[in-house]
Structure 1
Amino acid sequence: MSAAELTDAQDRRAPAGAAPVGPGRLPWRREAVAMLVGFAVLALLPFVFTDSYSRHVLIMVFIYAVVASNWDLSLGYGGVFNFGHIALFGIGVYAYSLLTKLAGMDPWIAMAAGGVSAVVAAVAVTIPILRLKGIYIILVTFGFAQLVMQVIISQSEYTGGTQGLVRIPTLYVFDHNMVRDAKFAYFYIALGLLVLSTVFLRAFVRSRAGISIVALRDNEEYAVSRGISLVRQRLITLAASAFFTGVAGAFYAAYQRNASVEVFGMSLATIILSMVLLGGTGTIYGAIIAAFVLTVFSEAMADFGAWRPMITAVLILVVMLAYPGGIFGMLKSATGVFSRRWSPPS
């Protein structure tokens, strides 16, 4: 049964105004408890890893996890091959940089503005792809990313062009010195961003809007015949995946204190896309787990030089061939085996 047919059947059983609950889906209370425990464990990591380098790696993990999990919303759940997603991250980087450095805006307000700028850009790129499919969406969204990069390069008087911007104003927490605390404050700001993003994404995919985009992905003709608007849902999906991506870009600029057109490059896009695919599309949590695995694994192999990306590519291929559902699928399979093995006989 397709997602659209399943949705139709569940709608008849669900109370009015409530989103239907799919079979096999973890009840939201249990998911909330599991999420709370997971993030509580993460919150203790600065007391385990007290050096600046380890905390820096974890901060980058959180940033990548936010971008990858939001990409999974449009790619995995919505089935929209939006290859301009990384441009939304870059727009957040430059929106924050220009607003704080040139306009003198408060950094916290500028970070929120980075998310809003990304949403506006997502809506703009969605309009030409509303009726497109497949390779045409990839071409338009990829072209959009390149267009944004060329605009930034051409406006070098403000953006710094290929040289980028440096000494960008950073965030502040009252009178706390964030430069000399071994990245303690930055860690919790990044973790807070990941928490907010994850809660939003999981709430969205559990809502009727989330169920609708999955129905469109699985059986577009049937979903449209049941009254689901392709145009509206595609617009909502890309806009929803843009806000925290833009905020993550703004935080990245505040944390690194520089902005460069490299954030629009294929290198970063490949890394983030690898996290989405390796974690398992249509899961949200898979992209977050893969961000940890790939970032930590890559840093652990720093001494391997040119061999590092090749070894990482082999790791991705092995996991994807063994478990097409990615790391999250592998964990679900392992959990199922463990549950069956330890369940009491009936």
Structure 2
Amino acid sequence: MTPMIRNVVLPLAALIALALTPIFVIDSYTRHLFIIAFIYAIIASNWNLSLGQCGVFNFGHLTFFGVGVYTAAILAKTVGLNPLLAIAAAGVTAPIVAFLMAAPVARLKGIYVVLVTFAFSQLVMQLVLSQSQITGGAEGMVRIPYLKIGDYSFIRDYKLGYYYLCLGLLVVSTIFLILIARSPFGKSLKAVRDAEDYAVSRGISVSRQRVLTLALSAIFTGVAGGFYAIYLRVASPEVFGFGTLTLALSMLLIGGVGTTYGPIVAALAISFATESLAGIRGFEEARYIVIAIAMILVLRLAPEGILGLFRRLTG
């Protein structure tokens, strides 16, 4: 299979198929599953920018998502800002938090990066819990204003508007990641990941690249968090939880670390697979064990992920 077909034709065909899906799928719940899958696809693919492209073991990536959730929730409900602007604002606050996280880890390596980024995530969660007068504390925030453009209400169209808006965010996010990967900056990230000493000898600042990478990976992750809050009309501390983190991480690992489309494909597959397993008696909780086993098998048999395996099989 030629690179043109693999990198352009197949993704474009998949996009057309997703754009046409609501025409044939009118069930609002199935559309809801697609929307959740799109959100996770944005999270996982942007996580790949720091973990896969730059090699930063950032286990605080879901912090950016959570910050986006609460930014949109607070601005839309408490401040009264238009929900669409609140979603956009989430893409600003998340990179700011990313800079704060990046400062102490810019010169750290290995397990120390994992520990500090995870600890930072827990710190932000405790801050959310402690400021209950603003964030709602452990109970979170509910009845967040929904999207409305003129007379068009997004909660009365069987999730059609939310579907296309989230798909559009995924497309823009993916283009953003592709442009970064193909830019000189993206090539410098791979140099930092694969040969740090060589990168330094070529005048590349490892600390600066790590800081910028974390900030860039936070932009659309924060936007996804803002959309999540406005779409579900709920902001809960659970978004910082270990369950959400492991699910997003499984999508990244199964899809393929270092690939742009792999986490997106895995997000769609895993979202629908977990829902299908939930409908089978006895698998309501065991479905997460199945996903964990699948992740172990992929890492053992195809470390490059399902997309890497597909590329190997198709030449």
* Shared fold (TM-score, shorter chain, > 0.5): yes
1:117 aligns with 2:96: no
**Deviations, residues 235-282 of structure 1 (Å, cap 9, x unaligned):** 111111000000000000000001000000000000000111111100
Give the deviation of 1:58 after TM superposition: 0.3
Distance 1:322 1:37 in 2: 28
Amino acid in structure 2 at the alignment position of 1:311: V
Give the TM-score taking structure 2 as reference length.
Answer: 0.96
Distance 1:155 1:177 in 2: 32
1:53 aligns with 2:32: no
Aligned to 2:111: 135
The equivalences for 1:263-302 within 5 A come to: 263-302=239-278
The 3-state SS of whatever aligns with 2:148 is: coil
Distance 1:165 1:31 in 2: 41
CA contact (8 A) 2:146 2:154 kept: no
Distance 1:120 1:215 in 2: 25
Aligned to 1:12: none
Amino acid in structure 2 at the alignment position of 1:204: I
**Deviations, residues 169-211 of structure 1 (Å, cap 9, x unaligned):** 1222332232221111110011001000000001101100000
2:151 to 175, 179, 188: 175
Give the deviation of 1:106 after TM superposition: 1.4
Give the deviation of 1:48 after TM superposition: 2.1
Aligned to 2:102: 126
Distance 2:296 2:287 in 1: 14
Give the deviation of 1:30 after TM superposition: 7.6
Aligned to 1:198: 174
The 3-state SS of whatever aligns with 1:282 is: coil
CA contact (8 A) 2:262 2:305 kept: yes
Distance 1:283 1:173 in 2: 36
The 3-state SS of whatever aligns with 2:149 is: coil
Task: Indicate the larger mover: 168-177 or 192-201.
Answer: 168-177
Aligned to 2:222: 246
Distance 2:258 2:126 in 1: 32
Distance 1:317 1:32 in 2: 30
The 3-state SS of whatever aligns with 1:82 is: coil
1:317 aligns with 2:296: yes
Aligned to 1:19: none
Distance 1:146 1:102 in 2: 24
Distance 1:34 1:233 in 2: 31
Percent identity between the two aligned chains:
51
1:67 aligns with 2:46: no
Aligned to 2:139: 163
Give the deviation of 1:46 after TM superposition: 0.8
Give the deviation of 1:33 after TM superposition: 4.6
How many positions carry a matched residue from both structures? Answer: 312
Give the deviation of 1:227 after TM superposition: 0.8
Task: Name stretches of at least 5 consecutive residues in structure 1 with no aligned partner.
Answer: 1-23, 337-346
**Deviations, residues 23-78 of structure 1 (Å, cap 9, x unaligned):** x9946x98345433321111011122210110000000000000000000100111
Give the TM-score taking structure 1 as reference length.
Answer: 0.87
1:326 aligns with 2:305: yes
Amino acid in structure 1 at the alignment position of 2:110: G
The 3-state SS of whatever aligns with 1:241 is: helix
**Deviations, residues 293-335 of structure 1 (Å, cap 9, x unaligned):** 1111101111322221122222222222221111111111222
* Higher-Rg member (1/2): 1
Amino acid in structure 1 at the alignment position of 2:17: V
Distance 1:150 1:315 in 2: 32
The 3-state SS of whatever aligns with 1:44 is: helix
Distance 1:297 1:157 in 2: 38
1:224 aligns with 2:197: no
Distance 1:65 1:241 in 2: 13
Aligned to 1:17: none
Distance 1:66 1:40 in 2: 18
The 3-state SS of whatever aligns with 2:79 is: coil
Aligned to 1:92: 68
The 3-state SS of whatever aligns with 1:181 is: coil
Distance 2:220 2:2 in 1: 25
Distance 1:39 1:254 in 2: 24
- State the Cα RMSD in Å: 1.6
Distance 1:291 1:92 in 2: 20
The 3-state SS of whatever aligns with 1:132 is: coil
